[in-house]
Amino acid sequence: EVQLVQSGAEVRKPGESLKMSCKASGYSFPTEWIGWVRQMPGKGLEWMGIIYPGDSDTRYSPSFQGQVTISADKSINTAYLQWSSLKASDSAIYYCARFSGGYGANWGQGTLVTVSS
Amino acid sequence: QSALTQPASVSGSPGQSIIISCTGTSSDVGGYNYVSWYQQHPGKAPKLMIYDVSNRPSGVSNRFSGSKSGNTASLTISGLQTEDEADYYCSSYTSSSTYVFGTGTKVTVL
């Protein structure tokens, strides 16, 4: 069974850094793309970026390029999403998803990030 | 890279059929057969309902079907049921080797 388990909810102050994780199991992690999706409170889904763990090939949505960093450690089947300096507008739920072909076949449970002074 | 355009809301009575449209450009929806649809209930993660325009994953009801014509994709829900009340999002691969979601549609069962 494919599972994506994300790290727990986070509370940070503006300007602080954050690295969240998404641990995959049940499939060949290095050979399938894994992506990140943002959902701001009461809003729709926004595609952020995607990584191929096998060679770390990474693509970002223009809206998120330079704002976040996506990485992966294939030795522990885990993908990461990180910020170096959070803003209040980064408060949202973040989902990871396994992209099998051209679609998000499996999704993590989501990680809630709250950025507030 | 603009979001794909979906109607904000669609409603129908139990047993009826509804159609949700998803309009993009030749650089996304019109250019690739990589359109997918997701259902999201409040407080839950999205769930894949349709992939590659018209394919249903195992376990998804055959009441859900997808199609595409030009730059517009469509999701049809037949025999509408109360549990179909949720938000629905389309998504497409793009010419930039990235993906884009639709604006989302709230489905209400009257």
Chain segment B34-78, per-residue pLDDT in tens:
999 999 999 999 999 999 999 999 999 999 999 999 999 999 999
Residue B60's pLDDT is what?
A: 97
d(CA B14, nearest CA chain A) in Å: 25
Kind of pairing between the strands at A69-73 and B9-12: unpaired
User: Which among B48, B93, B101 is the nearest to A45, CB-wise?
Assistant: B101
User: Which among A45, A59, A105 is the nearest to B98, CB-wise?
Assistant: A59
What are the φ/ψ torsions at residue B87 (nearest 5 degrees)? -95, 145
Residue B105's pLDDT is what?
A: 98
In chain A, residues with a C-beta closer than 8 Å to the C-beta of B91 are 45, 47, 103-104
Q: Do A108 and B45 touch (CB under 8 A)?
A: yes
Alpha-carbon distance A113 to A68, whole Å?
14
pLDDT at B1 over 80: no
Confidence tier at A36 by pLDDT (50, 70, 90): very high
Looking at every residue in chain A, the average pLDDT score rounds to 96
Residue A55's pLDDT is what?
A: 95
Chain B's closest residue to A101, CA to CA, is B34
Confidence tier at A100 by pLDDT (50, 70, 90): confident
User: Which among B1, B3, B51 is the nearest to A103, CB-wise?
Assistant: B51
pLDDT at A67 over 80: yes
Residue A102's pLDDT is what?
A: 84
Residue A101's pLDDT is what?
A: 80
- A114 token code pair: 């709250």
pLDDT at A73 over 90: yes
In chain B, residues with a C-beta closer than 8 Å to the C-beta of A108 are 45
Interface of A with B in 53-112 (CB under 8 A): 59-63, 95, 97, 99, 101-110
d(CA B17, nearest CA chain A) in Å: 24
What are the C-alpha distances in Å from A85 to residues A28, A59, B70?
Answer: 33, 21, 42
Residue A38's pLDDT is what?
A: 98
Q: Do B98 and A110 touch (CB under 8 A)?
A: no
Alpha-carbon distance A36 to A63, whole Å?
13
Chain segment B2-26, per-residue pLDDT in tens:
999 999 999 999 999 999 999 999 9
Chain A's closest residue to B49, CA to CA, is A105
Using only the alpha carbons of chain A, give its radius of gyration.
13
Chain segment B89-106, per-residue pLDDT in tens:
999 999 998 999 999 999
pLDDT above 90 coverage of chain B, percent: 97
